[in-house]
Amino acid sequence: SAAEKGGYASFMLKEIAEQPKAVADTLLGRIDAEGSLTLDEVRIPVSVLREATKVVIVACGTAFHAGLIAKYAIEHWTRIPCEVELASEFRYRDPILDQRTLVVAISQSGETMDTLMALRHAREQGARVLAICNTNGSTIPRESDAVLYTHAGPEVAVASTKAFLTQLVACYLVALYLGQVRGTKWGDEIRAVIRDLARIAEDVERVLETMEPVRELARSLAGHDTVLFLGRHVGHPVALEGALKLKELAYMHAEGFAAGELKHGPIALVEEGLPVVVVVPSPRGRSVLHGKIVSNIQEIRARGARTIVIAEEGDEAVVPYADHLIRVPVTPTLLQPLVSTVPLQVFACELATARGNEVDQPRNLAKSVTVE
Ligand code: AGP
């Protein structure tokens, strides 16, 4: 009903708007006054976390994209090798697992059959399973060794938005916690990132306040058939997520690519007027990547693409090549997905509405997929 939507036209719009609170709630009580993480609820002994030789993440859809981003954070902060796999592929591959493997199963609903089957398989092989889940007492956390709940609140719209942002937060917490208990050389960086995380809800709020031009842009693209998304580093999974949202909601052909792959094939798709969304990494930190993606934007624009550029505030290098520029606040590189995903959610939601689609209940989809 209209009341349940809290005055919003759809649950999806309401849930997009709830993201700052969802992010803050997921952090609540997990960072102490000294800026250390307290994840006592993770009932996997610290000794097991210290001795883990590998992390394997299993998930589906949007939760899988959260896992792809987590890989960058886990490997950088902990130096533990991390694999991310679609839950539906996992057990059929006969994956290598043992008692020193930490499996992380990410699921909003906690009822996704593919993810459940993957974690059952992992436990049969002796691995420990940590669930990241949004639904209290659901099957996936019940069958795992431990659970870190996301506190997004109930997510009703089929397209996942606030659950995704809180999955990212939970993944960062797991990565930082592993770094903390194992004592890596990134100690100072970890402390700085924990401070930045504590402030990130305000950044998400700032993004939400500046979305009107994104909505306008989305409406102007309602007649297009295809939108491409490019990104690199953690921007690559963000591009995949932007494309998934557009498929689900607008029923448009949308594909996400690693920007470095352009010249290995996808650039052949670029033609006059094709909208291409580019998620640009920070010019600070990994500045080499920034330069490379600016070249990619130039290349596709020279071939007629209409460039829609998501870039950090103050990044002036992209300005000459952006037909549309969407600004996001300055964040540490690894945290950027928390802000850069939001415009893509708004973009897909608005485009779907402009095309006359039902936003909360897209055709052919169910909120949780309880069959394999
Ligand atoms: C997201 O917008 C999708 N509807 C879908 O990909 C979803 O993320 C996937 O089915 C996994 O669901 P879960 O998080 O409940 O396990």
* 284: Cβ contacts below 8 Å, ≥ 6 apart: 330, 333
Q: Is 282 in the pocket of ligand 1 (CB under 6 A)?
A: no
pLDDT digit string, tens, across residues 130-143 = 999 999 999 999 99
For residue 113 the two structure tokens come to 């059959």
Q: What is the DSSP letter of 144?
A: S
What share of the chain in percent tops pLDDT 70? 99
Q: What is the number of the ligand 1 atom nearest to the C-alpha of 164? A: 8
For the four alpha carbons of 137, 143, 148 and 152, in that order, the dihedral sign comes to negative
CB 153 within 8 A of CB 48: no
Q: State how far the Cα of 355 lies from the Cα of 252, in Å rounded to an integer.
A: 10
Q: Is 138 in the pocket of ligand 1 (CB under 6 A)?
A: no
User: Measured in angstroms, how far is the CA atom of residue 160 from the centroid of ligand 1?
Assistant: 6
Of 329, 20, 282, the C-alpha closest to 165 is 20
18-32, 162-176, 260-274, 278-292: which range is least confident on average? Answer: 278-292
Residue 371 clears pLDDT 90, i.e. is over it: no
12, 57, 108, 365: residue to mutate for ligand 1 pocket, most atoms within 8 A of CB: 108
* 95: Cβ contacts below 8 Å, ≥ 6 apart: 56, 85, 121, 122, 125
Residue 288 clears pLDDT 90, i.e. is over it: no
Confidence of residue 279 (pLDDT cuts 50, 70, 90): very high
Could you tell me what percentage of the chain is helix, strand and coil, using 3-state DSSP and rounding each to the nearest 5? Answer: 50, 15, 35
User: 3-class SS at 175?
Assistant: helix
For residue 132 the two structure tokens come to 């990241």
pLDDT digit string, tens, across residues 38-64 = 888 888 999 999 999 999 999 999 999
Confidence of residue 149 (pLDDT cuts 50, 70, 90): very high
Distance set, CA 187 to CA 47, 78, 267 (Å): 19, 10, 41
58, 62, 64: residue to mutate for ligand 1 pocket, most atoms within 8 A of CB: 62
pLDDT of residue 32: 87
Of 291, 295, 270, 272, the C-alpha closest to 282 is 291
33-47, 68-82, 243-257: which range is least confident on average? Answer: 33-47
Euclidean distance between the first and final Cα of the chain, in Å?
Answer: 31
Q: Name which residue sits closest to atom 4 of ligand 1, judged by CA.
A: 159
- Catalytic positions are 367
Buried b / exposed e over 33-64, threshold 16 CB at 10 Å, is eeeebebeebebeeeebeebebbbbbbbbbbb
pLDDT of residue 217: 98
pTM of the complete model: 0.97
Mean pLDDT computed over 233-259: 97
Residue 365 clears pLDDT 80, i.e. is over it: yes
pLDDT digit string, tens, across residues 314-331 = 999 999 999 999 999 999
For the four alpha carbons of 93, 126, 85 and 50, in that order, the dihedral sign comes to negative
Q: State how far the Cα of 106 lies from the Cα of 311, in Å rounded to an integer.
A: 28
Mean pLDDT computed over 23-51: 90
Q: Is 208 in the pocket of ligand 1 (CB under 6 A)?
A: no
Q: Is 60 in the pocket of ligand 1 (CB under 6 A)?
A: yes
ipTM: 0.98
Residue 14 clears pLDDT 70, i.e. is over it: yes
User: Measured in angstroms, how far is the CA atom of residue 323 from the centroid of ligand 1?
Assistant: 32
Residue 1 clears pLDDT 90, i.e. is over it: no
Phi, psi of 79 (to 5 degrees): 60, 20
pLDDT of residue 341: 98
pLDDT of residue 286: 63
Confidence of residue 189 (pLDDT cuts 50, 70, 90): confident
pLDDT of residue 287: 72
Average pLDDT, the chain: 95
Q: Is 112 in the pocket of ligand 1 (CB under 6 A)?
A: yes
